[in-house]
Amino acid sequence: MNRIKSLDPPHKGLRHALGKLAFIAGKTDFTSLERVENLKAIAKEVFHLLKDHTATENKFVLAPLESKNPAFTQDYLTDHVDIDRMEQQLFERFLALDGTQTNDEGHALYLDLCNFQAHYLEHINEEDVALEVEMQKQFTDEELMQHQIAIMGEMSFETLLLWFKYIVPARRPDENAQVLSGFKSAAPAPAFDAVLDVIKNELSEHEFQTILSMIQ
């Protein structure tokens, strides 16, 4: 039986988001204010999701797990503190971009971003192969689903839309259709339409229509 994977959606979304940011940073002309502003807009989205995910994981994954197996969570919590510090330092450098930097300075930022990306991907890979399994061991699918419902209940709609923007292109059509079917049944029609508007811009027409055909 396929178990609920609590970490799969956000982690796939963050891999997509970090990859896109690195891709855009790698071809940005840092002497062009227009190009820099485009890069900063993407960076603001990505670092917002990174920060949101750490807070969410601490509260709705690690905290419940700590009540079951306290010894298992400490290393992850320590890693999150270190990652938060690295994220903030890197994000501040993106925010400081104003088109007056040289391309050599931009390249140094790009390399530091790639270094952070490598570190972060290693971290979430460890979570996917160990933390996810421990969550499935300690909680039923019904309990894991309640964690997800609680997360959605606390999340702002703007942040939810941003997650859909990066998660949907990174997952299979059937996975997306399952989530969107649930959202459609629980959310007001305007909210569901807003989600569709966001993801339509991130997918090919074929991908979008495939998902639509599978939504109940």
Question: CA dist 125 to 108, 195, 197, 208, Å?
Answer: 26, 28, 31, 28
State the architecture of 8-171 in CATH terms.
Answer: Up-down Bundle (1.20)
Instruction: Find the distance separating the first CA and the last CA of the chain, reported in whole Å.
Output: 22
pLDDT value of residue 130? 96
> pLDDT tens for residues 161-211?
999 999 999 999 999 999 999 899 989 999 999 999 999 999 999 999 999
**C-alpha dihedral sign at 69, 72, 78, 84:** negative
What's the mean pLDDT when you consider all of the chain? 96
> How would residue 53 be classed by pLDDT, with cut points 50, 70 and 90?
very high
Determine the pLDDT at residue 168: 98
User: Does residue 1 carry a pLDDT above 80?
Assistant: no
What is the predicted pLDDT for the residue at 172? 96
Phi, psi for residue 211 in degrees, rounded to 5: -65, -45
Q: What is the pLDDT of residue 2?
A: 84
pTM of the model: 0.95
Predicted confidence at residue 196, as pLDDT, reads 97
Query: Among 12-21, 123-132, 148-157, 187-196, which stretch is predicted with the lowest mean pLDDT?
Result: 148-157
Per-domain residue ranges of the chain: 8-171, 173-216
Give the tens place of pLDDT for each residue, 60-95: 999 999 999 988 999 999 999 999 999 999 999 999
Q: Is the pLDDT of residue 3 over 80?
A: yes
pLDDT at 47: 98
